[in-house]
């Protein structure tokens, strides 16, 4: 969805006035950079130190996995190296985007905080540090605590770096207390969240609810056009990561109910989850660096269309397989060979793909998006036709077409004013547009 260039230029022209308070200067800037560098060194030290121990722990796989690997033509060393390399790529992507933000906008408070969040998230999400000896546990807990707090506060602060609405600053105190108890006192009797799972569940999802409310309020009441595009990027990346993570885990659990788990399926799950979670730093980087901000609308639209299409086709496919088997079994008393059922379901999917895609695209376009247009060119073309047109009926139809093309209203009505006595040759067309 491409907004008109005039709107983008107007939003950009008003931006510097609101950015003056977001900059760090002098000693505060130096202190922030020193803290960021110290945390980066600590995170990289912990991660690099965990690689050998993680590699050694992965070699101790269950005894039945080597036989599965032989069947697949893989070796234990290959699988272990693949998992470790996947963790390294994950960490490099997060640290790389964080370094890019620090390099370009280290004096911007929001950019620096986002960079700090991405760095600490490496330890918070990574499973490799769990293999470190006991002596390393406090630094791991400390960085994990920082990462959990930062990723929570990010949704209270983004994109301006200020708490909006104001009550979120008090909620952030509760967030800090919650993650401190979960990080440093996970099994202690002084941790009520560990002792009472219901309290932990309510508190955790209560904080998530306040994050959603804060972002919706900021988007609707406070944000400028550019800040709204930044919010779309971050919300899109977070949503894709969470939905992808949940979907992969759910699908894996469903498959396990019918088929025994094997090493290959677990590798696929790990790879898919890491790919989904990598969307978070990429979307955050695009949002803060303000690169291709306006393309997020096209991405969201296509994600809605093809995501919905994929889910519906998957339901049709599996429903077709089960339905054909049941139908043939009732009619003939025999179970139809699975290759024929699969071929029939595949042909059904092929026949439904294009019609269903167009239907979904039109529905989403009418519900969430108005068809975009170049208003200037359309009005210029209408003005040119207006000079040469003398037929009232033709002019009326042309006016309706222009309004429909540019504004996409749900209803159009025209009122023809009667000619005035002083100027009977002038007839005015006054359109009335009823929007949804």
User: Contact 193/199 with Cβ under 8 angstroms?
Assistant: yes
- pTM tops 0.85, yes or no: no
Q: How far apart are CA 191 and CA 213, in angstroms?
A: 27
pLDDT tens, 140-188?
Answer: 889 889 989 999 899 999 888 889 888 999 999 999 999 998 888 887 8
Q: What's the CA gap between 170 and 175, in Å, rounded?
A: 9
Q: What pLDDT score was predicted for residue 259?
A: 66
The answer to which of 105-109, 285-289, 294-298 has the lowest mean pLDDT is: 294-298
Cα separation of the two ends of the chain: 20
Lowest mean pLDDT among 105-114, 172-181, 245-254: 245-254
On the CB side of 368, CA atoms within 13 Å amount to: 14
- CA atoms of 103 and 126, how far apart (whole Å): 24
Domains of the chain, by residue range, sit at 19-291, 307-367, 375-434
Q: Which residue has the tokens 């989403």?
A: 364
| 339-374 residue pLDDT tens | 666 666 677 777 777 787 777 777 776 666 554 545
411 has which bridge partners? Answer: 434
């Amino acid at each position: 969805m491409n907004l008109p260039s005039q709107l983008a230029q107007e939003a950009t022209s008003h931006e510097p006035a609101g950015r003056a308070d977001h900059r760090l200067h002098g000693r505060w800037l130096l202190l922030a950079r020193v803290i960021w560098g110290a945390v980066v060194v600590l995170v990289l030290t912990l991660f690099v130190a965990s690689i050998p121990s993680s590699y050694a722990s992965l070699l101790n796989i269950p005894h039945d996995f080597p036989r599965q690997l032989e069947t697949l033509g893989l070796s234990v060393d290959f699988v272990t190296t693949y998992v470790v390399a996947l963790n390294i790529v994950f960490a490099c992507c997060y640290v790389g985007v964080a370094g890019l933000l620090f390099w370009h906008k280290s004096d911007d408070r929001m950019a620096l905080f986002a960079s700090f969040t991405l760095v600490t998230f490496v330890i918070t999400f990574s499973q490799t540090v769990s293999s470190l000896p006991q002596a390393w546990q406090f630094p791991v807990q400390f960085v994990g605590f920082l990462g959990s707090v930062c990723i929570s506060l990010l949704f209270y602060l983004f994109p301006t770096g200020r708490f909006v609405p104001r009550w979120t600053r008090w909620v952030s105190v509760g967030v800090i207390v919650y993650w401190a108890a979960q990080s440093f006192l996970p099994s202690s009797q002084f941790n009520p969240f560990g002792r009472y799972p219901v309290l932990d569940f309510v508190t955790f999802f209560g904080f998530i609810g306040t994050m959603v409310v804060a972002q919706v309020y900021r988007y609707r009441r406070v944000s400028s056009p550019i800040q709204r595009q930044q919010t779309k990027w971050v919300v899109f990346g977070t949503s894709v990561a969470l939905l992808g993570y949940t979907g992969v885990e759910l699908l894996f659990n469903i498959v396990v109910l019918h088929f025994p788990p094997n090493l290959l399926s677990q590798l696929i799950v790990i790879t898919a989850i890491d790919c989904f979670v990598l969307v978070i730093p990429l979307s955050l980087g695009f949002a803060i660096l303000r690169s291709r901000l306006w393309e997020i609308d096209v991405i969201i639209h296509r994600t809605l269309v093809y995501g919905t299409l994929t889910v519906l086709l998957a339901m049709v496919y599996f429903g077709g397989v089960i339905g054909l088997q049941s139908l043939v079994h009732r009619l003939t008393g025999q179970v139809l060979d699975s290759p024929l059922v699969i071929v029939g379901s595949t042909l059904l999917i092929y026949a439904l793909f294009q019609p269903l895609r167009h239907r979904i695209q039109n529905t989403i376009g009418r519900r969430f998006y108005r068809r975009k247009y170049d208003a200037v060119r359309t009005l210029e073309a209408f003005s040119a036709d207006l000079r040469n047109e003398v037929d009232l009926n033709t002019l009326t139809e042309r006016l309706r077409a222009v309004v429909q093309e540019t504004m996409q209203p749900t209803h159009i009505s025209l009122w023809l004013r009667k000619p005035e006595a002083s100027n009977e040759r002038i007839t005015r067309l006054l359109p009335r547009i009823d929007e949804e």
